[in-house]
Copies of this chain bind each other. A is one copy, B any other.
Amino acid sequence: MAERPPIEARGGGPSGDAVDTPGARSRDRDHAAEVRRALLAGDDAPRRSFDDGATVRPAGQPRNAVFVIEAGWLYSARILPDGRRQLLEVWLPGQIVGLGEHGLQRPLSALYALGPTELHEISWERLRERMCASGELSDQVAMLIAHERLMFEERLTSLGRRDAAERLGHFLLEMHHRLRPSANRFRLPVTQAFLADMLGLTSVHVSRMLSQLRDEGLVDMNDQGVHLLDIDTLRRACDFDPGYLAVDPVCNDAD
């Protein structure tokens, strides 16, 4: 068993933007940027600020807007009645948050600020209006939703079939890829409890696994600073293939 295709199954690098099967659109174009421009055109979208930890959008309430992140990070989470929580996604500057609730009356997941944030708020009314006006916009929105789905596909695989160390390594590689720092260091402003709720673990075990990764010379993480010591080994160990990551339009400061 076990085929052995991926790990670099592309043309060259994470986005061999050369070949394009006819009729198939490349994910390499920055759809988010185009959608952002379309949604913000007119420049009258209200701006909103949130403090660290603030609830940007509660769960269960009628959904009525999407957000374009101007600065800061967000995360989405699903809370169970007994308090357990599963974090679903981390959202970075430039991303459009909330498209995935298209067609849903009330989101099941809540949205919180990860650090102080600046957002543009675009009402669904306005969004619909612009989508009706532009088939291309509709299409790009569909692709962005498909990309959110694809991220979940990968995370589902992590939670279902990867052990704690693999999940951690995989997630850190993912964030590294999304943030595109110049070096192998980047800031990840989250606690270990956050990582735990993201990866289906406990904070205690996250602490242990990070120590282990450090001992193995793979990752050094302290005080929200991540240093990937041996990316190639880590990628192999975690079965990380960035093929599922679209270009995330993020401007970021390394270290």
Contacts and interface: CB of A to CB of B under 8 A. Distances in A.
A135 interface: yes
Interface stretch (A1-9, A111-119, A213-221): A1-9
A45 to B, nearest CB: 15
A27 B108 CA distance: 14
Nearest to A125: B23
A70 interface: no
Interface in A134-187: 135, 138-139, 141-143, 145-150, 152-157, 159-162
A124 interface: yes
A36 interface: no
A150 B148 CA distance: 10
Copies assembled: 2
A23 B143 CA distance: 21
- 4 A-B pairs with the lowest CB-CB distances in the bound complex, closest first: A160-B200, A103-B143, A23-B125, A152-B152
Interface of A: 1-7, 9, 15, 20-27, 31, 59-60, 62-64, 78-86, 88, 99-106, 108-109, 123-125, 128, 131-132, 135, 138-139, 141-143, 145-150, 152-157, 159-162, 197, 199-200, 239, 241, 243-244, 246
Given A101-B146, A106-B9, A161-B200, A156 B125 contact: no
Nearest to A148: B149
A19 to B, nearest CB: 8
A82 B129 CA distance: 48
Nearest to A138: B138
Contact of A149 (B15, B27, B100): B100
A159 B200 contact: yes
Given A86-B157, A160-B200, A124 B1 contact: no
Contacts of A25: 103
Contacts of A124: 23-24
A156 B21 contact: no
A64 B24 contact: yes
Contact of A27 (B103, B138, B154): B103
A25 to B, nearest CB: 5
24 contacts: A1-B83, A5-B60, A9-B106, A20-B105, A24-B63, A24-B64, A24-B105, A26-B105, A31-B103, A78-B156, A78-B157, A82-B239, A88-B156, A100-B149, A101-B146, A102-B142, A103-B147, A106-B243, A108-B150, A149-B152, A156-B159, A159-B159, A160-B200, A161-B200
